[in-house]
Amino acid sequence: MHLYGNLSEVASVGVLILFALYLGLYLALFGLLFGVIRRNWSVSAALISAPLLWVAVEFARDRVTGFPWDLLGYAQINNLTLTRIAPWTGVFGLSLVIATVNALWALPIAQPITQPITRTRSRRTRLVLPLAVLLTTAAIWLQFKGAQPPPAESTATAVLVQENLSVGGGAQQESREAMLASFATLSRHPNFPGSANTSETPDLIAWPESPAAFLDSDQSYRNFMEQLAQSSSTPVLADDLSLASRNSDGSYSLYNSASFFKADGTYGGRYDKIHLVPFGEYVPYKPLFFFAGKILEGLPFVPGTQRVLFDDRGRKYGVFICYESIFGDEIRQFVGRGAQVLVNLSDDGWYGDSSAPWEHLDMVRMRAIENHRWVLRATNTGVTASIDPYGRIVDQMPRHTRGALLARFNFLEDLTFYTRYGDWLAWICAALTAGIIAVSLLRSRRHVIAQ
236, β-bridge pairs: 205, 261
Question: DSSP of 371-424, one letter per residue?
Answer: HT--EEEEESSS-EEEE-TTS-EEEEE-TT--EEEEEEE-------HHHHH-SH
pLDDT at 121 (0 to 100): 55
CB atoms within 10 A of CB 223: 11
Which residues fall within 8 angstroms of residue 376, CB to CB, at 6 or more apart? Answer: 158, 160, 204, 206, 341, 342, 343, 344, 386, 387, 407, 409
Separation between Cα atoms, residue 306 and residue 329, nearest integer Å = 15
Q: CA quadruple 195, 200, 204, 206: dihedral positive or negative?
A: negative
- What count of Cα atoms within 13 Å lies in the side-chain half-sphere of residue 162? 24
Which of 50-59, 97-106, 256-265, 308-317 bottoms out in mean pLDDT, i.e. has the lowest? 97-106
* Average pLDDT value for residue range 357-377: 97
For 7, phi then psi, to 5°, come to -90, 155
pLDDT tens digits, one per residue of 45-61: 999 999 999 999 999 99
Highest mean pLDDT among 201-210, 241-250, 346-355, 383-392: 383-392
Q: With cut-offs at 50, 70 and 90, classify the pLDDT of residue 115.
A: low
- Which CATH class, in words, describes the domain spanning 156-409? alpha beta
Greater confidence, 296 or 8? Answer: 8
Is the model's pLDDT at 113 over the cut of 50? Answer: no
pLDDT at 238 (0 to 100): 94
pLDDT at 366 (0 to 100): 98
pLDDT at 264 (0 to 100): 95
Is the model's pLDDT at 448 over the cut of 70? Answer: no
Which of 100-114, 325-339, 408-422 bottoms out in mean pLDDT, i.e. has the lowest? 100-114
* Average pLDDT value for residue range 375-391: 95
Is the model's pLDDT at 131 over the cut of 90? Answer: no
Among candidates 75, 79, 93, which has minimal Cα distance to 140?
Answer: 79
* Average pLDDT value for residue range 113-135: 63
| Domain spans of the chain, in order of start | 9-149+423-450, 156-409
Which of 208-212, 256-260, 341-345 bottoms out in mean pLDDT, i.e. has the lowest? 208-212
Give the β-pairing of 315-321 and 267-272. Answer: unpaired
pLDDT at 245 (0 to 100): 78
Which residues fall within 8 angstroms of residue 168, CB to CB, at 6 or more apart? Answer: 3, 4, 211, 350
Separation between Cα atoms, residue 53 and residue 70, nearest integer Å = 17
pLDDT at 14 (0 to 100): 86
Among candidates 11, 34, 45, which has minimal Cα distance to 293?
Answer: 11
For 312, phi then psi, to 5°, come to -145, 120
pLDDT at 349 (0 to 100): 84
Q: With cut-offs at 50, 70 and 90, classify the pLDDT of residue 172.
A: low
pLDDT tens digits, one per residue of 228-249: 999 889 999 999 999 887 776 7
Is the model's pLDDT at 430 over the cut of 50? Answer: yes
> Coil, helix or strand for 79?
coil
Separation between Cα atoms, residue 112 and residue 126, nearest integer Å = 18
Query: What's at 141, amino acid-wise?
Result: W
pLDDT at 114 (0 to 100): 42
Buried/exposed 343-362: b ≥16 CB within 10 Å, e otherwise: bbbbbbbbbeeeeebebbbb
pLDDT at 16 (0 to 100): 86
Q: Which residues are catalytic?
A: 209, 273, 322
| Contact between 308 and 270 (Cβ < 8 Å) | yes
> Average per-residue pLDDT in the chain?
86
Per the confidence metrics, is the pTM higher than 0.85?
A: yes
Among candidates 241, 261, 257, which has minimal Cα distance to 310?
Answer: 261
pLDDT tens digits, one per residue of 64-107: 888 899 999 999 999 888 899 999 999 999 999 999 989 988 88
* Average pLDDT value for residue range 31-47: 92
Helices (H) and strands (E) in the chain, counts: 11, 12
Among candidates 368, 363, 343, which has minimal Cα distance to 238?
Answer: 343
Is the model's pLDDT at 354 over the cut of 90? Answer: no
CB atoms within 10 A of CB 169: 10
Is the model's pLDDT at 178 over the cut of 50? Answer: yes
